[in-house]
Amino acid sequence: MLNDTVLTLLKKEISENEYQKYIKQLNFDEKASNSDNIVFTTPNQIIANWINRKYKEKIENIYEEQIGKKPNIIIKVKTKKNKTIHIKNYQNSEQQTNNITSTILNPTYTFENFIVGNSNQLAYTIAKSVAQKPSEIYNPVFIYGSSGLGKTHLINAIGNYAIKNNKTVIYTTSEQFLNDYTYHARNQTMDKFRNKYRKCDFLLIDDVQFFSRKEQTQEEFFHTFNELYTNKKQIILTSDKPPKKIAGLEERLQSRFEWGVMADIQPPELETKIEIIKNKCKLDGIDLDIDIINYIASNMGDNIREIESAIITLNAHSNLLNQKITLDFAKDIIKEQIKIKKETITIEDILKTISKELNVKPSDIKSKKRNKSIVEARRICIYLARTLTQNSMPTLANYFDMKDHSAVSHTMRKITQMIEENEDFKIKVNELKNKIVRN
Ligand code: ADP
Ligand code: MG
């Protein structure tokens, strides 16, 4: 049958694990389907949303290839009474109404799929214990660390665990909280907003650093926080930096964020990275030799998101070219990825951003002036130019009007030492780096 053919074709495009986990749960609903609308049912909303997001377009395209026209694929949830309810397309409904409710939890971000090492042990242990025993020991929980180290994964794992135990969970980012707030304030439906955020067992807010300087949202969140806290509901927050370092965060919120327990996630040590890669390969059905895994772990940075994306690219290339993934093949692809990333950033970009952020003129940064603030801006520029671009030391010496490459190398040593010794400085450099990379 056509539908079976389509799903079999889809199977070739995705991993066995994905197929077994999601696509196998789809049932063709013959009665509800017609030539324009193909309807499938799934056992629950999480799977329906996930399929809408990740596979709907693929399924539509395969139908198009098979029958020459693109039908609407509708994924419905099969209810217990054997009735179906319509789940709106996740992204469309968000855009159309702008009535952003909570983001759906990612079902693959579980505790079981989270690899624990020294770098994330504390955050993992705390996350697991609040998922199991909410608001008994730690409230609120504040998890922080750089981008790509697993904060969103852990907070989702708490949510998924809680949902399994029939708790009401609201998972959202601070930006969505803000949008939701603005929407309800404008439509004078604040009672709905409050009902939603204040009547849950778990409130999970990802990336609270974006509350920075949003006074009205902070005010609203302050009251939400107090209400939940008083009612002994569990609050979990993540951020890329500790509360004290979030500029423009009201003091009363900062102090509340610090009331419970704070846990940071550090960059993963080599063994943890290796384990994470192995686990990722297993989940996605990708076969990599151990020397390739070691190569990726030792040569890529600490951002796990980037590592995962490299593995996916590698696998896609290998499928496309019908070529086995050898170490040389992996080296080529990864080198290319690192190169592409570096080529998109120039010394000028770095100079411009640092000049703006630190309020020092570009011409001063490039001069020989010795004021403290100018020297610091210059050092940071050189350090970031060396780590984020492919420019050689002599090129940088020339650009920054320094004697020769040894002056650049001296600056690199100096700044690396400052980063190691001074936590505040490390955070500052990291923030500047993020600004440049995101630009
Ligand atoms: P953050 O929110 O801190 O920026 P994410 O939670 O989005 O980072 O993590 C980025 C990716 O890396 C995700 O796909 C996540 O599953 C994966 N990841 C991060 N840490 C781990 C870990 N310890 N074990 C398994 N996967 C991880
Ligand atoms: Mg995140």
Written as one letter, the residue type at 257 is F
> For a pocket test of ligand 1, which of 300, 302, 304, 311 has the largest count of ligand atoms closer than 8 A to its C-beta?
304
Look up residue 74 and give its two tokens: 């509708």
Is 115 a pocket residue for ligand 1 (Cβ < 6 Å)? Answer: yes
Q: Which ligand is nearest to the CA of 434?
A: 1
Q: Which ligand is nearest to the CA of 171?
A: 2
Per-residue model confidence (pLDDT) at position 103: 56
Would you call 143 helix, strand, or coil by DSSP? strand
Q: What is the pTM of this model?
A: 0.67
Is 282 a pocket residue for ligand 1 (Cβ < 6 Å)? Answer: no
Is 155 a pocket residue for ligand 1 (Cβ < 6 Å)? Answer: no
Per-residue model confidence (pLDDT) at position 102: 47
Q: Which ligand is nearest to the CA of 173?
A: 2
Cα separation of 136 and 130, whole Å?
A: 8
CA dist list (Å): 185 to 180, 189, 217, 220, 420:
8, 6, 11, 11, 46
Per-residue model confidence (pLDDT) at position 379: 96
Per-residue model confidence (pLDDT) at position 376: 95
What does the pLDDT look like over 207-263, one tens digit per residue? 999 999 899 999 999 999 999 999 999 999 999 999 999 989 999 999 999 999 999
Per-residue model confidence (pLDDT) at position 81: 45
Look up residue 16 and give its two tokens: 């066995």
Cα separation of 391 and 439, whole Å?
A: 19
Per-residue model confidence (pLDDT) at position 351: 96
Is 114 a pocket residue for ligand 1 (Cβ < 6 Å)? Answer: yes
Q: How far is the CA of 170 from the centre of ligand 2 (A)?
A: 16
Is 157 a pocket residue for ligand 1 (Cβ < 6 Å)? Answer: no
Q: 37 phi and psi, to 5 degrees?
A: -120, 120
Is 311 a pocket residue for ligand 1 (Cβ < 6 Å)? Answer: no
Query: Which residues have C-beta within 8 Å of that of residue 325, sequence separation ≥ 6?
Result: 287, 288, 289, 292, 314, 315, 318
Q: How far is the CA of 391 from the centre of ligand 1 (A)?
A: 30
> For a pocket test of ligand 1, which of 103, 124, 153 has the largest count of ligand atoms closer than 8 A to its C-beta?
153
Per-residue model confidence (pLDDT) at position 101: 40
Q: How far is the CA of 152 from the centre of ligand 1 (A)?
A: 7
Q: How far is the CA of 119 from the centre of ligand 1 (A)?
A: 13
Q: Residue 68, by phi and psi: left (phi above 0), alpha (psi -120 to 50) or beta?
A: left
Using only C-alpha atoms, the chain has a radius of gyration, in whole angstroms, of 25
Dihedral angle sign, alpha carbons of residues 366, 372, 373, 376: positive
Is 134 a pocket residue for ligand 1 (Cβ < 6 Å)? Answer: no
Question: For the chain, which ranges sit under pLDDT 70?
Answer: 45-46, 79-103, 438-439
